[in-house]
A and B are shown apart, each in its own frame.
Chain A
Amino acid sequence: MPHDGDHDHGRKPELSPIALRVRALESLLVEKGYVDPAALDVLIDTYETRIGPRNGARVVAKAWTDPGFADWLVRDATAAIASLGYAGRQGEHMVAVFNSPETHNMIVCTLCSCYPWPVLGLPPVWYKSMPYRSRAVIEPRVVLREFGVEIPDGRQVRVWDSTAELRYLVIPERPAGTGGWDEERLAELVTRDSMIGTGLARMPA
């Protein structure tokens, strides 16, 4: 655990100012009895190793292969996603938005960094960054080009700004040439960025 390394005073003498402040605050909050240090380790482990975008990829692959499940995602994404075991904090109210030849969907939170943790894990740095939060709504196509994604002029770009407690998951289009593939194989094509809408699903090799 990183926790052990943090407290190894002998090996890492030169901590940055913020690292020192965070360490001091942790000591204080533990001393005051507000925080259980073992609970911190569980929280870190949960989001480091247990919850990540493979969860969302499984949702997408199932949507691609099971029309009943795709329809359930449209009607009640929270329940459909919970049926695969993904629920809870920062995924309490899920909405699935489907890409199509007419529409490309893209998710942002301009006011903070809201993100669907149970299906995608913690957000990448760029998602929380000022450039993405400021520009995704005003020039989404320019932002998409910075990810190497070009959306044809005839296809509308629809940006979802997560201002409330609804959390959005993009269901990218299923790549051509994947007929007959099972869910597990399809899930390998589903990138994290394709579920935020700043990428597309991988083409089969």
Chain B
Amino acid sequence: MNGPHDMGGFTGFGPVRPEADEPVWHADWEPRAFALVLAMGMTGSWNIDTARHARERLPAMQYWRSSYYEMRHHALLLQLIELGLITAQEEETGRMSVAPAPVKRVARSGMIPAILAAGGPSDRPGTRPQGFATGDVIRTRSDNSDGHTRLPRYARGKRGEIVAVHGMHVFPDSNAHGHGEDPQWLYTVRFGARELWGKDTRDEVCIDLWEPYLEPV
């Protein structure tokens, strides 16, 4: 989808403002919002790709106006209500009025270190043939699908070179929509800034792209 999250190449958002000695949090509610997002993720009610897609589906102006943790809070609400884990009315009152829905797991405090240490690796044993190799020149597809994709808009229909092969990884375009992990070969593809932006420079952008995004040249 051509969502508000797909930021690469936009202008008009002003300068980057680095903050000296930046604290981890900028308000007392931020760590709570952060931890709620993580803890609800640990219930196994969704995967990382559905969570990203929820953020992308926020109204564009809300996405751009929100601070990062506000945006995460809004996307969390969207998921909780869509999945029937809470109702909009419960969100309003902060009080339970509907019995809890079953979840796969509740992360107790003692389980957190092991859950964080395990993480969520996305590589999968591969059985598909590998379509490309390092050094191959490819062109990215130029789709405007309604669904989730990790092919940024600025890199669609562009010519690049495979510079690394990473094995097979969960395919977000499928996994975000509950269609299974559908593992695909993952490559790092190098694009010249001249190809991407028409700029007279030797600078480059490297992007990690799954095989279905790529066509041979």
Q: Interface digits, A26-57 against B, CB 8 Å rule (1 contact, 0 not)?
A: 11110111111011111110111000000000
Nearest CB on B from A151, distance (A): 9
> Are A112 and B55 in contact (CB-based, < 8 A)?
yes
Give chain B residues whose Cβ lies under 8 Å from the Cβ of A129.
13, 16-17, 68
Give chain B residues whose Cβ lies under 8 Å from the Cβ of A29.
36, 39-40, 86
Give chain A residues whose Cβ lies under 8 Å from the Cβ of B14.
131
The count of residues in chain B whose C-beta lies closer than 8 Å to any C-beta of chain A is 90
Give chain B residues whose Cβ lies under 8 Å from the Cβ of A33.
100, 106
Nearest CB on B from A30, distance (A): 10
| Interface residues on chain A, size class | 35 or more
CA distance A19 to B70 in the complex (A): 10
Contact of A48 with B18 at beta-carbon distance under 8 Å, contacts A27-B94, A140-B203 already known? no
Nearest CB on A from B189, distance (A): 10
Give chain A residues whose Cβ lies under 8 Å from the Cβ of B128.
none
CA distance A98 to B207 in the complex (A): 17
Nearest CB on A from B192, distance (A): 10
Contact among B19, B32, B64 with A22 in the assembled complex (CB-CB below 8 Å): B32
> Are A164 and B186 in contact (CB-based, < 8 A)?
yes
Who on chain A is nearest to B10 by CB? A134
Which of A62-70, A85-93, A181-189 binds B?
A85-93
> Are A39 and B109 in contact (CB-based, < 8 A)?
yes
Give chain A residues whose Cβ lies under 8 Å from the Cβ of B52.
111-112
Who on chain A is nearest to B202 by CB? A156
Nearest CB on A from B198, distance (A): 11
> Are B206 and A160 in contact (CB-based, < 8 A)?
yes
CA distance A1 to B86 in the complex (A): 27
Nearest CB on A from B176, distance (A): 12
**Taking each of A25, A48, A136, which has the highest tally of chain B beta carbons within 10 Å of its own beta carbon?**
A25
- B interface residues, Cβ below 8 angstroms from A: 5-11, 13-19, 22, 24-29, 31-36, 38-40, 42-43, 48, 52, 55, 64, 67-68, 70, 73, 76-77, 85-86, 90-91, 93-96, 100, 103, 106-109, 111-113, 115-123, 150-152, 154-155, 166, 169-170, 186, 188, 190, 196-197, 202-210
- A interface residues, Cβ below 8 angstroms from B: 2-3, 5-6, 15-16, 18-19, 21-29, 31-36, 38-44, 46-48, 87-93, 108, 110-113, 121-122, 124-126, 128-138, 140-141, 143, 146-147, 156-166, 193, 198
